Amino acid sequence: MDKRSTELRLKIVEVLEKSRRGHVGSALSILEIVRVLYDNILRFDPAEPDLKERDRFILSKGHGCLAIYLLLADKGFFPEEELYTFCEFESRLGGHPEYGLPGVEAATGALGHGLSIGIGMALAAKIDKKDYRVFVLVGDGECQEGSVWEAALSAGKHRLNNLIVIVDCNKMQCYGSTDEVQPMEPFGDKWKSFGFEVHNCKGHDIEALKLELGSLPYHNSKPSVLICDTTKGQGLTTAENNPAWHHKSKLSDGDIKQLYKELGLIK
C-alpha cells in the first residue's frame, strides 16, 4: 500500500474506534477502487452536489459505505468531523448510504438493486442527450441476485456505453466464500453473454485501476464491466479473507489496538 491508501485505512480505524461497529472487510476491499474514482475519474463538484453534468456513482454493495464516506469527506461534500458520527442515532452516516447525504446518489444495501437504478440514470442521460457517465460498484456475492442479471439484460439491450459496472471480486461473502455459497464462474463470460465488454484488473493496484477506468468506454455500443480482483479486508491482516470481519458490531479495545498495530501505529 502507498501512503494515501495507508492513511485512508488509518481513518477507517479511527472511525471504528468511535463507532465500534461497521462492515470492515467490504470497506477495505473497495477502498482503492473508490479512491481512484474520486481522485482521478469522476466528474463532480462538492459545492454543487446535484450538478447536472456530474458523473453518477452508485455503491450498490452499500454495506461498504465507510469507503465512500471517507472519500466524500475528503473531497469536501461534508465536514470530516461528521465521519465520527458514523452509526450514531440520527447521524446522516448510517450503516448503509442514504439519499440526502451530499454525494450519495441512491439509498443502497438491499443487494441487487443498484444496477437497475444505474441503468435508469444511464437511459435518462441518453434520452436527454447528456454526456455524464454512470458507475455502479457491485459485489461478486451480490451478483448471485437474479435482479442483477435482469438489469444486465436491459443494459445490453439498450447498448448503454455510458454505463460502467465495477465488480468487487473478493470471492468472499458474509458466511463463506462465493464458491461455497454459490459458484459464479465463468464469471466474465456471463457478462459477455449479456452484451457487456469485459475487462479485468487487480483491484488494489492504483496504476492498473487508473489505466482501466481512464480508458472507458471499452466499446462504443456496449456497456462496460471491470472485474476487480480484490482481497476482503485488504491491508489489515486480522481482517483479510476472514468472514468474521464482514461485519463487526462490538469491537473491543483489543481489536482496535490490534488494527492500529497492523498499520504500524501503537496507541
Residue 1: all three cell numbers together: 500500500
Domain ranges within the chain, ordered by starting residue? 3-262
If you ran DSSP here, which 8-state letter would residue 64 be given?
A: G
Q: What is the pLDDT of residue 174?
A: 86
What is 3-262's CATH number?
Answer: 3.40.50.970
Q: How far apart are CA 179 and CA 185, in angstroms?
A: 9
- Give the DSSP letter of residue 134: E
Q: Which residues pair with 30 in a beta bridge?
A: none
Q: What would the pLDDT profile of 59-112 be if each residue is shown by its tens digit?
A: 999 999 999 999 999 999 999 999 999 999 999 999 999 999 999 999 998 999
Are 227 and 197 in contact, with CB atoms under 8 Å apart? Answer: no
Coil, strand or helix at 90: coil
Does pTM top 0.75 for this prediction? yes
Tens digit of pLDDT for each residue in 26-48? 999 999 999 999 999 999 999 99
